[in-house]
Chain A
Amino acid sequence: GDSVTQMEGPVTLSEEAFLTINCTYTATGYPSLFWYVQYPGEGLQLLLKATKADDKGSNKGFEATYRKETTSFHLEKGSVQVSDSAVYFCALRIFSGGYNKLIFGAGTRLAVHP
């Protein structure tokens, strides 16, 4: 079935370090791909998305490229800040059974230290 696999956390980095959080997916058809972020005590917020192969989503310095050949959507940021500390969820959306189905990965916790 459709699924999303993320690298396990926590990921601990120093401020200004380079970030990669891996995400791979399994899906029938052509899903849209998303990264959501959950800051402490809050609900999830959409960070970025890509709707077709080779699209690059970007927001707040984060980027992810939809790679159909490797079924991946890895999240990257060149220089993380303490304020980026959060849980990051990779997700895919596929239209199945008459509605848009959103499937989430398990989440990766990022902790950035000064």
Chain B
Amino acid sequence: NAGVTQTPKFQVLKTGQSMTLQCAQDMNHNSMYWYRQDPGMGLRLIYYSASEGTTDKGEVPNGYNVSRLNKREFSLRLESAAPSQTSVYFCASSEDSYSPLTNEKLFFGSGTQLSVL
């Protein structure tokens, strides 16, 4: 039971480089999320996908793009990395984010530690 799998676990980039963070879930969840975790700031939502084929901006979307490739996979792309994007990135999934009565539990991947020099 893999749950939510993220790759890579660690990455070092130079300013201006691009990269894609991959995320896949095997729980048949409709909704997927990308968060960043910074010291003293908790987790902040970058983008989310409430269902296959839809994506929406979260709290801190600038400098990122996302693709919901299919129901299982949700990738996060940094087109031109900046030092301010140094952070730990978490992918998460949940059954359904549309209904207010749905199971509220989020399942998280183990994170990607990204450093931009």
Interface of A with B (CB < 8 Å)? Answer: 4, 32, 34, 36, 41-46, 49, 51, 89, 93, 95, 98-102, 104-107
Contact = CB atoms under 8 A, between A and B. Distances in A.
B47 interface: no
A34 B104 contact: yes
> Which applies to chain A's interface (DSSP): helix, strand, loop or mixed?
strand
Given A89-B42, A104-B43, A44 B106 contact: yes
Contacts of B105: 46, 49
B38 to A, nearest CB: 9
Contacts, number: 55
B100 interface: yes
A106 B102 contact: no
Interface string B90-117: 1010100111101011101111000000
Given A89-B42, A106-B42, A99 B108 contact: no
Contacts of B102: 100
